Each structure stands twice: as C-alpha cells, then as structure tokens.
Amino acid sequence: MKKFNSKIICTYLYSITKYGYPPSADDTLKYIEEMASLGFTTIELEGIREEHLKIVYNLRYKIRTSLDDNGLTLPYFCVVLPGLSSSEQKERENNIGLFKLGCETAAICGAKGVLDNSPIPPYIFPKDIPVIRHYEEESLQSASLPDNFEWKKYYEMLVSTFRNLCDIASNYDLTYQLHPASGVLINTADSFLHFYNSVGRENLRFNFDTANLFAIKENLPLSLYKLKGHIDYIHFSDNGGNKVEHLEAGNGKINWNNFFTALKAIEYDGYIGLDIGGDESGVNNLDDAYINSAQFLENNWFTK
C-alpha cells in the first residue's frame, strides 16, 4: 500500500464525517487504524469538550501504543473547549483544567502542538453553547450577550486567559494553534496578528484553514504573506465560495496555483492536514476524497 508524505495529515474530520459529531471517544483506537489503512503515516485526533476529552485522556497511553504499532505520528491534538472564552470565571477555570489534560495527552502522544477553535464571544444561546463544529448565522443571531457586557474588560480578560493557556502549552513544549471558523473572534489574518500582539506569546499560532478563510472572502495568498512566521499547520480543503464546506481538492473554486506560489514565497515547511467532509460538505466517497487530495498535494506541493 502506498504511504503518503509524512507532512500530510489525515485530520479528525475524517472520523467525524463517518460517525457524526462528536464521534464516540471510546472508539479512538479504531479511528487510528482506519486512518492508517488509507496510507497516512501522520494523523490528527481530538478531545471535544469535557466528557469526550476525559475519555481520550484516559486512553492516552493506549493511543500512544496504537500510534507506534501502526507506524503513525500525531503532530497535533485538538482540544475543543469553547468554555475557555467564557465570561464566567468558574467556567473558564474548569476549562483551563481540561486544557491541561489535553496538553498532557498531546505530549504523551508526541505532538508538537494543541489546536482549538479560536475564542467564541461569550454568547448566551437559548440552549447553552451548541455542540456543533461551525456556528451558522441562524445560531449566532439567536444568541445574546451577558448583562452589563463591556468589550474592553472582556478583551483584557481574554488576553490574560490566553497568555495563561500559551504558558501551559509551553510547559509541555507545545504550540497553541487557533483555528478560524464562522462566528469566532480570530478568523482572519489581521484579527490573529492583532490578538498575537496583545497576548505576546511566541508559541501562539494560526491554523490556516483554506476552506473557512475562502468562505469568508479572505484572500488566501495575501493572508499567507501576512502570516509568514505565524503558521506551521494548514487545514487543507476546497470551497465553492458561497458557504462553509470542506471539499476534495479541485472540487471548489480555490486557485491552488496562486496558493502554492504564495506558500513557496513564504518558505512554508510545515504540516498540511486534509480536512475534508462534514455534514455541510456533501462528500460522496470520503476515502477517495482523502486519497485523491493527498495525491494532489504530493503532485503539486511536496515535489517542490
């Protein structure tokens, strides 16, 4: 069986698309074997909120053994904790404790970094923060903000919290990757650079998600130039330009020639994670989409 370049990562969205969000944490070892069976030698896993993350944490040594047995590496572990940006101190503190578990899991599995969606504003949803991957416009419009909300005070708290999170990650020799998505605060190159300057921690990174950035009309080559030195992990998928979706490379409207030209210009040498699928994307044959996109990357980028 062909093995793909070790810089090409099969992301956890593969398992999410097959089994729903979130997929059962108890089946994590099965997901590892399934990704390996496609030809990937490098994968991504996630711990999604408290219950899911704690199960993955309890499996951390079995996960490391499974990675070794399957000849896999795990450069990035996703710690999905929307409560980190809560306006409530008790909730933030609880999620900071969970973040530490995520960092320990990542370190035991040999990861270089942890990743989470960038902070979501302290919206109050009718039924708490919905357990979804992307906050669609309807969900966001149904949300309100806390009484007596003050942006300056909240932002100062957020900066302090993320300094602490970066320091926790640094204690495990990890970078902290912020992932752009609809409805979050850090979803463009400019917003990340502003936040990075406020937080002032070298290990804060931007997880460059091609589909999400294209969907919000970010110019991908220009963003790459702006973010030189701030990215070492890319989430790679195509997009049609009209909505959030994560398509096989070549099935959308992203100009990949321009993208790769900019990537070369900034001397990018990091990982590229195939992030294809999800309910929003309508990918018919998931295995083929991942295999074809890995071959696309090998033909267009990793032959440089």
pLDDT in tens, 228-251: 999 999 999 999 999 999 999 999
Q: Residue 144 has what pLDDT? A: 85
Mean pLDDT taken over the chain: 94
pLDDT in tens, 130-165: 555 566 666 677 788 888 899 999 999 999 999 999
- Percentage of residues in the chain having pLDDT higher than 70: 95
Q: Is the pLDDT of residue 129 over 60?
A: no
Structure tokens at 268: 């990018």
Residue 267 Cα distances to 152, 169, 258, 290, 304, angstroms = 37, 26, 14, 25, 11
For 252, half-sphere exposure in the C-beta direction (CA atoms, 13 angstrom radius) is 29
Q: Which H/E stretch holds residue 152?
A: helix 151-171
pLDDT in tens, 240-284: 999 999 999 999 999 999 999 999 999 999 999 999 999 889 899
Give CA–CA dist 121/118, Å, rounded: 10
Q: Which domains does the chain have, with CATH numbers?
A: 8-300 (3.20.20.150)
